[in-house]
């Protein structure tokens, strides 16, 4: 779903994927992909965690580094709130 959303330049299509009980795990996985894309940009592909998702990592690595870092920071904050605030409304977050 993420690869298709990237190709269509429509990341809003992913919102439903994160409005589930396992949202924290999905956000963690997304963060690992974003960090792998940054590793690819710095020619450190051998350190990528998601070796089975190379096409997706390549697509993400086409984005500017500043954007990848900003998006990563936003998702880290979102995940932190999901983990630390009891009974938070995931849909509103």
Query: Is the residue at 90 inside a domain?
Result: no
| Torsion 68-71-77-82 (CA) sign | negative
Query: Is the residue at 93 inside a domain?
Result: no
pLDDT in tens, 24-73: 888 899 999 999 999 999 999 999 999 999 999 999 999 999 999 998 99
Residue 1: the pLDDT is 65
Query: Is the residue at 91 inside a domain?
Result: no
Tell me, what CATH number does 18's domain have?
1.20.272.10
Q: What are phi and psi of 10, to 5 degrees?
A: -135, 85
Query: Is the residue at 63 inside a domain?
Result: yes
Query: Is the residue at 58 inside a domain?
Result: yes
Residue 89: the pLDDT is 65
* pTM confidence score: 0.81
Query: Is the residue at 42 inside a domain?
Result: yes
Task: Give residue 12's Cα distance to chain centre.
Answer: 13
Could you tell me the residue range of the domain that residue 35 belongs to?
2-84
Tally of domains within the chain: 1
């Amino acid at each position: 779903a993420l690869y298709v959303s990237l190709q269509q330049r429509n990341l809003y299509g992913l919102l439903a994927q994160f409005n589930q009980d396992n949202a924290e795990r999905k956000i963690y996985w997304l963060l690992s992909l974003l960090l792998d894309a940054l590793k690819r940009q710095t020619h450190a592909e051998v350190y990528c965690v998601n070796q089975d998702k190379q096409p997706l990592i390549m697509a993400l690595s086409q984005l500017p580094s500043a954007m990848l870092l900003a998006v990563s920071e936003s998702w880290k904050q979102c995940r932190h709130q999901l983990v630390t605030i009891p009974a938070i409304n995931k849909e509103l977050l």
